[in-house]
Amino acid sequence: MRRAFFACISVGLIPLVILAAVTALVFGDKAGVLPDGLVGFMQFRPFMMAILGIVLGGWFSRGRVVYAMLVLAFCYWFFIGAPVVLSPEGVRFLRLATLYVVPVNLLLLSFMSERGVFRKRGIARLLFLALQFFALILFATRPDLANALYALLNTRFIELDGVANTIPQLAFLVSVPVVLVLLAKGRSLEFAFACTLPAVFAAELVETRYIPFGYLAAMGVVLGGVVQEAWRMAFVDDLTGLAGRRALGHALMELSGQYCIAMLDVDHFKKFNDSHGHDVGDIVLRKVARELSHVGGGGKAFRYGGEEFSILFSGRDMAKVYETLENLRKKIANSKITLPESTRQVGITVSIGLAQRPESETDPWAVLKEADGRLFCAKEAGRNRIFAG
């Protein structure tokens, strides 16, 4: 449960914060603490957010972001623009249709790979989106057809009490599995897509004055998902899931006082790659990374590069750190991995160099370099050991 919680935070912290912030704005307005005129100005904020998301998505060649923002922008127009040109029956149908259009399109996006914006597949997506909304508006121009479709989309299975009875039941049943699939993907953008659905449902159910808040939250969490994804690409190693070298640099800058740094290297890693292929090498790295993520003793592991890892122990002395690392070394040495397409198992060992910050040293990179030198000594001494000087 704890690992699932932190995994959720690592891919969805920014979208969750944005969702909470917009929710706080709604409660603030209800409590009468927001400045006069803010809600009226909010009517145009979702379009501004959509334009920002489209520009960023295009700049970073994130076609799925552009598509998602266009879906939300069109659906928002159904609430504030469609009443000007369509009948009440058509508007009622379009508003309810958003509860199907948004989850279905976001689900489709979650199974699509990034193909840019202006390439063939990106343009095909945009044409598919335009076709959907053209058809919806065409249906909405005919009140009799709009009423029939509304009755179909508003199918109810049971009668409930209070607010629960206002929730479109069929749309809810469609959205629940969509949310579960999006969350199961375990990626930042898909997590953001999942967070848009409560906001879109809220826009359909709340008072008219709060509709902009719902779509502002929906577009904001998608934009937040882009930011979170960019952060993960910069600071998290994609293969192992550990913090990467850029994150290590930031962590070293924050070190002060007493600390230790360990450098760890997988023994005979080149042989794994040469004998069993790079796929097995990746399995080895992920296996070692899993053990490092639970190193204990206050240690924080980073992938330094290749088969080499760094572990920082802030506020710890060498004796306690050595014991922690020895337990780690033994645990890795006692573990086995099963080769793909085979029942044969092979063992893994690691060598570790450990250095503690001298009182006169102010540069953490110098301590890391010392640990790296001791790692070389551990390998020269026969591997599968710790060298601490």
Tell me which of 190, 204, 307, 370 is the catalytic residue: 307
Q: How many Cβ atoms sit within 10 Å of the Cβ of residue 136?
A: 21
Whether residue 324 contacts residue 292, with contact meaning beta carbons closer than 8 Å, is answered with no
Of residues 71, 60, 145, 157, the one with CA closest to residue 106: 71
Q: Which 3-state string (H, E, C) describes the chain?
A: CHHHHHHHHHHHHHHHHHHHHHHHHHHHHHCCCCCCCHHHHHHHHHHHHHHHHHHHHHHCCCHHHHHHHHHHHHHHHHHHCHHHHCCHHHHHHHHHHHHHHHHHHHHHHHCCCCCCCCCHHHHHHHHHHHHHHHHHHHHHCCHHHHHHHHHHHCCCCCCCCHHHHHCCHHHHHHHHHHHHHHHHHCCHHHHHHHHHHHHHHHHHHCCHHHHHHHHHHHHHHHHHHHHHHHHHHHHECCCCCCECHHHHHHHHHHCCCCEEEEEEEECCHHHHHHHHCHHHHHHHHHHHHHHHCCCCCCEEEEEEECCEEEEEEECCCHHHHHHHHHHHHHHHHCCEEECCCCCCEEECCEEEEEEECCCCCCCHHHHHHHHHHHHHHHHHCCCCCEECC
Q: Distance of CA 168 to CAs 110, 159, 374, Å? A: 24, 11, 65
Tell me, yes or no, if 307 is annotated catalytic.
yes
Return the sign of the alpha-carbon dihedral for residues 149, 151, 154, 155. negative
Catalytic residues: 307
